[in-house]
Amino acid sequence: MSFKVEQMEEKNMVKLVIESTAEEFEAGLNKAYNKDKNKISIPGFRKGKAPRKMIEQMYGAEVFYEDAANAIIPEAYATAAEESKLEIVSQPKISVVQLEKGKPFIFAAEVAVKPEVELGTYKGVEVEKADTEVTDADVEEELKKVQEQNSRTVTVEDRAVKDGDMTVIDFEGFVDGVAFDGGKGSDYALTLGSGTFIPGFEDQLVGANTGDHVEVKVTFPEEYQAKELAGKEAVFQCDVKKIETKEVPELDDEFAKDVSEFDTLAEYKEDVKKKLTERKEADAHRTKEDEAIEKIIDDAKMDIPEAMIDNQVNSMINDFANNMMQQGLSMEQYMQFTGMTMDKFKEQVRPDAVKRIQSSLVLEQIAKDENLEVTDADVDAEIEKMAAAYGMEVDKVKEYIQDAERESMKKDIAIQKAADFIMENVKERAKRTTKKAAADEEKEPAKKTTAKKTTAKKTTKKADETKDAE
């Protein structure tokens, strides 16, 4: 196997042209034959006993080409990717160049490589001082949440359903009098006001009693994923089988004893205030860090290839889908209930994906420029944290961590060290309290700087995360 690297027109995109020898391709054909021979019938031969040449004569020499190529490509690409020393940041786009018996098998893999980052100013970045004060109102709000968490669900028999109640319903949807796929459900748990269903659906159940039959009329959004339903009026026949509500406990000393290690409500409140303060300080740190990193991104240069963005978008969507599955909802159901399309969803995710990539790239470059070394001790400390979090022995966790995962951990630690370095060097300014103050600040003459402005693609929304983009 051999390969060559070709630069593509789009910056930070390369093509790996990979060539397997004729002998390697022949071995792939034999592998494909052994894999498929039991599925092929040849007159005069029992299944699995027909010689390869006989099969090729009857079905054509190309009968095993696809399987042979599929057998060769993964390993050949992996080898070429590793030996090339390229920092590949996307899935390969594979295309066949030559596929012919007796000749080398040649294919191409188009990939995005990590772009170079030219940093501007990243030391002494000015950020707004965040408010970390915890008020009595904050404490009361937190106590209400704990009350909600410790509430009990009771069945409602003496009144109609209202917004916020939980219902159990049977439903079936019809368009032009005809039932449609995916429009039927039995014993479905629906909280009114959750926005789970199509807009207008839940509102029409308000006022119904247990045992009532309700006819709900809605209109599917114009951009509904099922094109045959988009913009159509639908009628749902619904039966309300159960109404439930939450009963919250009284806020007193007994409540404090039940939910904490304290004997009085006053002591519990003090603890709540302490924890809220810690949380606010942590949130303030993240906010300042995000602001600093965003300014660093704006003062940097980087050309992010589209394939890298697409890879990050797909990764984020997969993570979202997994989270939905843990909640008992498939991606298809989510799309159907929200009227979202995959293209629209990708469009929404894209700005955040770009910001994650930008954040990761500038932090990696800062770690490199500042020689922020990651030691084995740093990795071991991270493994110890993992072991404590999962309740496992440290040595046991180490057994599960492969070399590739260890390198990934080193990269994550380096990024965190870069973020810490930024925060050690930020300059805080007082929070603007009036529009006049902000306007006055805008009027101040800009200081001259030699730092270059970013050419990175701008996003339409601000992103909060600065996690690794790869």
Average confidence (pLDDT) per 10 residues, the chain, 470 residues:
92 94 92 86 80 86 90 94 93 94 93 94 92 93 93 91 92 92 90 89 94 93 84 93 91 93 95 96 94 95 94 94 89 85 93 95 95 92 91 89 88 94 91 56 43 37 40
* CA 69 to centroid of chain Cα atoms: 32
| Rounded Cα–Cα distance for residues 297 and 361 (Å) | 9
In angstroms, the CA 328 to CA 322 distance is 10
Q: What's the N-to-C CA distance of the chain in angstroms?
A: 28
Ramachandran quadrant class, 209 (left: phi over 0; alpha: psi -120 to 50; beta: rest): beta
Pairwise CA distance, residues 164 & 94, whole Å: 51
> Given this model, what pLDDT does residue 40 score?
83
SS3 of residue 240 by DSSP: strand
Domains of the chain in start order, with CATH, are: 2-112 (3.30.70.1050), 122-150+267-316+347-470 (1.10.3120.10), 152-247 (3.10.50.40)
Tokens 């057998």 sit on residue: 71
Give the global pTM: 0.64
Identify the pLDDT of residue 195.
86
d(Cα 340, Cα 220) in Å, to the nearest integer?
A: 11
Contact indicator for 88, 113 with CB cutoff of 8 Å: yes
- Here the tokens at position 33 are 């034959």
Question: Tens of pLDDT along 97-115?
Answer: 999 988 999 999 999 999 9
Q: Distance between CA 48 and CA 288 in Å, rounded? A: 67
Q: What is the pLDDT of residues 200-255, one digit of tens each?
A: 999 999 999 999 999 999 999 888 878 888 889 999 999 999 999 988 899 999 99
Q: Which two tokens stand for residue 153?
A: 């669900």
Q: Which of 166, 153, 247 is nearest to 202 (CA)?
A: 166
What span, in angstroms and rounded, lies between the C-alpha atoms of 192 and 381?
47
Which residues contact residue 116 at a Cβ distance below 8 angstroms, ignoring those fewer than 6 apart? 302
Pairing of strands 427-429, 126-128: parallel
| Tokens, residue 452 | 């270059």
Cα–Cα–Cα angle for 217, 223, 226, nearest 5°?
75
